[in-house]
Structure 1
Amino acid sequence: MDHDKNINLLEVRIQKLIETMRPSVHMRDELDIGYSFRNNTLELFEIRPRWDKKDKKINSPFAKTKFIKSRGIWQIYWLRANGKWVSYNPNPEVNDIVGFFEIVKEDKHSCFFG
C-alpha cells in the first residue's frame, strides 16, 4: 500500500513539474510538453502537429530519467540524433525528480532542446 501511495505522490509531483515547462495555453495546439511514467522510467516529449496532417499529433521524446531504487538516484539520459538514449554526462544522476527537471529546463549543453 505504501508503494502505491508513493507512486501516486510522485505522479502528482511530476504533473506539477510538467506544468512549469508547458507553453502558454494559446500555443498548446502547436507545441506542448507531455510525459510517460512506467516502470520507474519517466520520459518527456514534445507534442506537435504532423507537418503533413495538422490534425494528427506526434510525440518526440527529448529527455528521460530512470529511478535506480537500490541506489536511491535518478539517472538522466538525452536522445541523440541517431535515436539512441545516452547518459547525460555533465550530470548523469540526481538525488530527486526535481533535480532532473532543473537540469532539463536549464539545458546548459543544449542536449534536450537543441
Structure 2
Amino acid sequence: MTPYIARRRPRPEIREELDIGYSVEGQSVIIHEDRRLYDGSRLLEPVAKATWVRTQKVWRVFWMRADLRWHSYEPLAKVRTLDNVLEGVDADPYGCFWG
C-alpha cells in the first residue's frame, strides 16, 4: 500500500490541505482522502474499500455512495490480488472513486 499511496499523493505544497492515506480495519483496507476543513479540523473521506474474503481467496471491492454505505463495485466485484484492486481503483471506469 505504501508505494501506491506515495504515487497517488498530491504535490507536497498542498498536502496540508489535501492528502490521501489508508487504514486497515480487520480484513479490510480503506483508502481515504484527508482534507483540512475551514475550522482547522480534519475530515477523512473514504474513497475505496477492499475486503479479503479468506474462504474464497479473493478481494471484494466497494465504493461509498451518497447514502454513506459501502456498495459492491461491479467491475472489480472479486479480484485475486491487492495489486489488482489498486490497478482497478486507479482505472476507475465508472468514475466512482476519484470522480
Settle same-fold status: TM greater than 0.5: yes
Of the three residues 68, 71, 92, the one matched with 2:53 is 68
Gaps spanning 5+ residues in structure 2: where?
none
For the residue of structure 2 that corresponds to 1:29, the secondary structure is coil
Give the count of matched residue pairs: 99
The higher radius of gyration belongs to 1
Q: Hey, what does 2:14 align to over in structure 1?
A: 27
Of the three residues 15, 18, 21, the one matched with 2:2 is 15
The yes-or-no answer on 1:77 pairing with 2:54 is no
Distance 1:25 1:58 in 2: 19
Distance 1:27 1:95 in 2: 34
Gaps spanning 5+ residues in structure 1: where?
1-13
**Alignment identity in percent?**
31
Letter in 1 for 2:75: P
Letter in 1 for 2:17: E
Distance 1:24 1:94 in 2: 30
Q: Which has the higher strand share?
A: 2
Distance 1:111 1:36 in 2: 19
Distance 1:97 1:25 in 2: 26
TM-score (normalised: structure 1): 0.81
